[in-house]
Amino acid sequence: MQTYKNKMQQANQILQQQGPTWAAMNPEYVTRMQLQNRFNTGLDIAKYTAKIMREDMASYDKDPANYTQSLGCWHGFIGQQKMISIKKHFGTTRSRYLYLSGWMVAAMRSEFGPLPDQSMHEKTSVPSLIEELYTFLKQADARELQHLFKEMDDAREIGDQVREQAAQQKVDEFETHVVPIIADIDAGFGNEEATYLLAKKMIEAGACCIQLENQVSDAKQCGHQDGKVTVPHEDFLAKINAVRYAFLELGVDDGIIVARTDSLGAGLTQKIPVSQTEGDLAEQYNSFIDGEEVTSLEDMKSGDMAIKQGEQLIKPTRLPNGLVRFKPNTGEDRVVLDCITSLQHGADLLWIETEKPHIGQIASIVNRIRDVVPNAKLVYNNSPSFNWTLNFRQQIFDAWLAEGKDVSAYQREKLMSQDYDETDLSTEADEQIRRFQKDAAAQAGIFHHLITLPTYHTAALSTDNLAKDYFGKQGMLGYVLEVQRKEIRQGLACVKHQDMSGSNMGDDHKEYFSGAHALKASGKDNTMNQFAG
């Protein structure tokens, strides 16, 4: 590890080699600016974070208690404040990532305005958000280091060498806010070449991990909506290959691919693949297609098609739009095949989109996958599309009923009611929600827990509460009581919003560039001085 002093010596050597024409350059200032900009490119970030994620995956394989987590962020500032808070509360960012949700890009970052999660937004908005998130995380590094440099300068000014050395040690041991991003590429925005081109842009922006789903690209739906259509395995594997080639071309040799299957909720396919050899992936995929047995040509009419399915000839069930229906109740079997096939052909992690957060259901699927691929691991969406309160109260109700407990005090369909909030059933349900991530990591192979859209909902909720109070009887007290006073007492960095936006760093740079002539903003009349400490 290079220390502050070592880097300053290197900077000094470079400046001395240039002679008097560079005499205005201060080696300590050069060192500080270099430390405040540790990552010069997005590829530097992708290589650094891929290594972290691989180490975390290996750690989870040894002990499932070492699972990882993230929250979805739709703006660089949101991601920055999240990582600053994590570092403040837990002292480290390790095992905490960012998630970039295609849903939130569509709903909040498209030039078309709010869009549904159907891959209608500009594909360029995805790498743009990755770049933005890392720009804000790097700025969080620079800001925190600037405060440490100020500590060093203040201690030096009063001759306190112990305090100066303590601040310098904090600089030497500084942990960056830059963490892995799991980035959603949806279904790849086109064919495999389109997927490759977009993956390259995402990696160049800093993504070490790309999540790809097996829906049809031009018919993509949100995983929690109806009407999902999957592609044959060969089509999906071609896109996995495209992403891997993009990683390797750019020198991110350990980049991570998350293969997401929507087969549990997808009842349709767009096309029937051609089987080349008996038992191949196409034949396995086609074995799930629903249809009517054909015993005579008279069973066929104009425009009908027939395929051989085992020993039978069937006429596939087709919708008026030409899509082909799968047999009912085959979703789990298709998920298992999707997952095994993806892991056997280059994917690193799995994403199974379920209709409810039920550990038993998830584990039953994962155990079947692990019979073939023992180290299979999941990225799991702790989705806001689930009604967590109702789901877990109903799970407890059903468990108690099966155990023979008296549940006559509860109405299963009305368990969301506040009337049940203080009951034993509610208490047990909340405890299971609290333990869900830990228990699912141990029992259902979940390496990474994320919430896709949390900051979408928190922004709406906090704005609703502020609007209610500020425009109501509370007036200005609504802001002071519920926002500013809490910011101050909880030690939120952004209460000093000028500092958070880079004003103090700008003052430092002006001093570096202009010396005593610098016009600085952080003088005695700056109202941010009211927020001391």
List residues forming the annotated binding site.
184
Annotation marks residue 73 as catalytic: no
Which residue from 348, 49, 13, 12 is spatially nearest to 176, judged by alpha carbons? 49
* Residue list for the binding site for Mg(2+): 184
From CA 482, how far away is CA 471, in angstroms rounded? 14
Distance from the first to the final alpha carbon of the chain: 31
- C-alpha 525/C-alpha 301 separation (Å) is 86
Give the whole-angstrom CA distance, residue 32 versus residue 138: 14
Angle at which helix 161-172 crosses helix 125-157, to 10 degrees, equals 160
Q: Is residue 190 within 8 Å of 220, Cβ to Cβ?
A: no
Cα–Cα distances (Å) from 256 to 54, 56, 63, 328, in that order, read: 8, 12, 20, 33
Q: Do 289 and 316 contact (CB within 8 A), yes or no?
A: yes
What distance in Å separates the CA atoms of residue 126 and residue 258, rounded to the nearest whole number? Answer: 16
Of 31, 40, 37, 33, give the one whose Cα is nearest residue 6: 31
How far out from the chain centre does Cα 426 lie? 30
CA pair distance 533, 529, nearest whole angstrom: 9
Q: Contact, 195 vs 188, CB < 8 A?
A: yes
Out of 73, 208, 209, 222, pick the active-site residue.
222
* Contact assessment for residue 397 and residue 410, using Cβ atoms and an 8 Å cutoff: yes
Pairing of strands 268-269, 324-325: antiparallel
Q: Which residues of 104-126 are buried (b: 16+ CB within 10 A; e: fewer)?
A: bbbbbbeeeeebebbbebebebb
Which active-site residues does the annotation give? Answer: 222
